[in-house]
Copies of this chain bind each other. A is one copy, B any other.
Amino acid sequence: MARSKTAATKPGEKSEETVRPRSSILNATVRLFGQQGYTGTSMRDIAKAVGVLPGSLYAHIDSKETLLLEIVDQGINGFLSAVEPIVDLPLSADERLRRAIRAHVEVVAENPELSLVVFHQWRFLGEPNLAAAIEKRRRYERAFVRIFESGVEAGLFEPTLNKRIAVLTILGALNWTPEWYSPEGSATPSQLGDMVADSLLSGLFVRR
A interface residues, Cβ below 8 angstroms from B: 36-40, 94, 97, 120, 124, 148, 151, 155-159, 161-162, 165-166, 168-177, 179-180, 192, 195-196, 198-207
Chain B neighbourhood of A179, CB < 8 A: 172, 175
Tally of this chain's copies: 2
With known contacts A40-B124, A172-B175, A175-B172, A156–B205 Cβ distance under 8 A: yes
Partner of A172, one of B174, B203, B207: B174
> For the complex, what is the distance from the CA of A198 to the CA of B148, rounded to whole Å?
15
Chain B residues near A192 (CB, 8 Å)? 165
Complex CA–CA separation, A174 to B179 (angstroms): 13
Contact B180 A176 (CB under 8 A): no
- Closest B residue, CB atoms, query A198: B161
Of the candidates B37, B156, B158, B175, the one whose C-beta lies within 8 Å of that of A176 is B175
